[in-house]
Amino acid sequence: MPHPGQSWEPEGKPTCQAHEYVRDGTAKLLTLFRPVTGEVRAKGVRNAPNAVLHPWLKDQLTEILATLPEVTLPEAARPVLARWETWLGHAPREPLPPLRLILIWDNLAGHRSYSIVRWLFQHGVMPLNTPLSGSWLNLAESLQRIIVRRALAGQHPQTPDEIIAWLEETVAAWNEAPTPFIWHGKRRERRLRARARRLGGSPATLGNHQLIAA
């Protein structure tokens, strides 16, 4: 379907969008996002069952793990947030490699399958599920909204494959100058200042809010 966006047209001849709606399949974007750097790993697909998602995820995580420095400290000497017990709530019940990555994803049935969860543990990756009705805590979804808006603004795609190509091109352009996502960063400060102006007060009087996800 057509998507709104800015464009340049001859004076008196505004651009027209087709009104027909034709459902010709779907396009999905498998996404891995690192908020601290803004780096995105993504792949467009027509559908995303476990047979498609899990092999892609394993390949991408294997590449990422290969770039990380080797862990030499014993478990007890590592920082608290780098220990399995911190996230599991108890000591591992079987030997596990050092914890290397925290993977945050949606609370879907496929994400809790034994095979993928065991593979993650065996490779030093701790999966954390966002709470039900709390998908906004997964910043990959916020990033996807930005990518989709940039890829489809003012366009009239004809096929899912065309959409997939545009999405992947937009991801490549994003990675040339990625934007880190920081909780309580500059965007929040701007919102606080704008709110203070509306209320006629100072940002300091509005208080601070801490987000705690269990």
In a domain, 166, yes or no: yes
**When comparing pLDDT for 134 and 203, which is higher?**
134
Closest among 30, 29, 40, 31 to 180, alpha carbons compared:
40
Residue with tokens 């990675």: 175
30-69: pLDDT as tens digits = 999 998 899 999 999 999 899 999 999 999 999 999 999 8
Residue 13 structure tokens? 């001849």
Residue with tokens 């995820």: 57
Q: In whole angstroms, what is the distance from residue 122 CA to residue 25 CA?
A: 36
**When comparing pLDDT for 185 and 100, which is higher?**
100
Query: For residue 184, what pLDDT band results from cuts at 50, 70 and 90?
Result: confident
- Looking at residue 139, its pLDDT comes to 83
From residue 115, give the alpha-carbon distance in Å to each of 12, 57, 111, 155, 173.
Answer: 60, 13, 10, 40, 34
Q: In whole angstroms, what is the distance from residue 148 CA to residue 89 CA?
A: 37
In a domain, 21, yes or no: no
Count of domains in the chain?
Answer: 1
**Domain span holding position 111:** 28-176
pTM: 0.74
In a domain, 200, yes or no: no
CATH code for position 95: 3.30.420.10
Mean pLDDT score of the chain, rounded to an integer? 83
113-163: pLDDT as tens digits = 899 999 999 999 999 888 877 766 778 888 899 999 999 887 888 889 999
Percent of the chain surpassing pLDDT 70: 86
In a domain, 39, yes or no: yes
